[in-house]
Amino acid sequence: MSRSRVACALALGVSLLPWGAGPQAGEDSFLQANDPWFVAGQKALARALKLTPLRGHAKNLILFIGDGMSVTTVTAARIFEGQLRGESGEENLLSFERLPFLALAKTYNTDLQVPDSAGTATAMLSGVKTKAGVLGVSSGVVERDCASAAGRHVTSAVELAERIGLSTGIVSTAAITHATPAAAYAHTPARGWQVDRSIPEKEQKAGCVDIARQLLEIPYGDGLDVVLGGGRRHFFPAGVDDPEEEGQPGLRQDGRDLVREWLSRPDARYVWNLEQFLAVNPARTGPLLGLFQPYHLQYETDRLNDRAGEPSLSRMTQMALDVLQRNPRGFFLLVEGGRIDHAHHEGNAYRALVDTVEFARAVQVALDRTDAKDTLVIVTADHSHVLTFAGYPARGNPILGRVRSAAGDGGLPKEGLDQAQDDLPYTTLSYANGPGHLSQSARRAARHQDTTHPDYLQDATIWLDSETHGGDDVAVYARGPGAQLIRGVMEQNYIFHVMDAAGRLRERAAAVAERGGIP
């Protein structure tokens, strides 16, 4: 072998020793060269070598947050989606897993190893890590103490976008006043203060305002342009019946009808069911408010059974983009898959995975309807959950099924199910804690249950009424201008700083201030 070939091989990390028994000693013969996995690896390398960062600044910014979408959730949902198509599932990729830049984010709050959604959402949307349970304020606050929040408000990416004349939108399958969406516009020492009746009188007198009201009173720009999600009860006064759910009237004690106030804006529109939503012409509507449930939206599994109907996350994302893209200056959009988290808390992997697959569809909508050259898309989670993926199931074993390992003859699953030490089968997916915990006798009684049924609760090691968040890192995926800044292991609040740099949010806001507030 020539010196140049030796140097090249060493530079590439290629072994100089023969691989296997080649036809002639010393010949460059890689027997795996025709193996489909080897070929696929070479193609992946070729794609990576062509990858170059997109220069310039982002006109549009989109942040997708899968609430509670741990790495384990992503892996299981990837397999689940593939198996829904009749495939083995393991080679599948969800839409956002194809994005070119990837990192891990550390999710702890300033006071907790395992975080809550309020503190983590504030970190991503304002660039400042803070305590659990508070929104849009720094860590010096005392939870539920209004006076301590004075002077500690932190500016969110949505507020910056409004200052510089961008259109802004929030989409969620949770109540729009829930922790993650609220972090985009609210400042409060208590995430639970979603409506005025929740705030103690003392704290109201100290100046604290409920989250729903803050959505209408953003002091920058012309206010949010698109808001789609749940939480109707927080916007209507007490005594006003919900149009869909009997016995769930409005909760406001101040007598204000926030929907009517929204409609006071020029060309504003309010919708609360699927028929009204589908009738919206995004090319002609003004500010659009859609509140489709008294509180959270249905799980995607159950959505078609809703009496009045409600749009899917992907349909809401499409609508939001169609409205926001009319602004030539650009837009900021926050999209939350909020009910992934809720299904995990219930110990219900089926609904968590279905909502994750729908979340991936929403991401695909955004990728299809925007240009990577001018739109930064970031996809991540606020925190993880204690879902585990274990055992030695054979390739293609149903991800929601019981473990059946390979028989050893070509990787085919063996006929019998694997047994735990108590001689009972067990599922591939389980939780470290939660409501699915079963005693041995209960496990024996449940051994014939259909583990793939939507209502099945995965077994849990520790019995808790509600499964908990996890403290492990979450993945961050990105495409577009500035996406190359998503790299390595980073603090979660760094995500804001990437969006800020890509969209020049603070720089442009400062310029607007110098012009007397004119974008």
Q: Would you list the domain boundaries of the chain? A: 60-386+472-514, 397-467
pLDDT tens-digit map of 123-154: 999 999 999 999 999 999 999 999 999 999 99
pLDDT at residue 76 greater than cutoff 60: yes
CATH architecture of residue range(s) 60-386+472-514: 3-Layer(aba) Sandwich (3.40)
Cβ neighbours of residue 109 closer than 8 Å, sequence gap 6 or more: 115, 116, 119, 120, 129, 130, 131, 132
Active site residue 314: no
CB-based contact 258:275 (threshold 8 Å): no
Mean pLDDT, to the nearest integer, of 436-458?
94
DSSP state of 294: S
Question: What is the pLDDT at residue 415?
Answer: 84
Q: Which of 148, 252, 255 is nearest to 202 (CA)?
A: 148
Cβ neighbours of residue 427 closer than 8 Å, sequence gap 6 or more: 400, 401, 402, 403, 451, 458, 459
pTM of the model: 0.94
Catalytic residue among 2, 29, 95, 117: 117
What residues form DSSP beta bridges with 333? Answer: 62, 169
Q: Which of 28, 7, 8 is nearest to 17 (CA)?
A: 28
pLDDT tens-digit map of 347-365: 999 999 999 999 999 999 9
Mean pLDDT, to the nearest integer, of 464-477?
98
Mean pLDDT, to the nearest integer, of 389-404?
96
Residue type, 280: V
pLDDT, the chain, mean: 94
Number of helices followed by number of strands (H, E) in the chain: 17, 15
pLDDT tens-digit map of 297-338: 999 999 999 999 999 999 999 999 999 999 999 999 999 999
- What is the per-residue DSSP string for 126-141? HS----TT-BSB-TTS
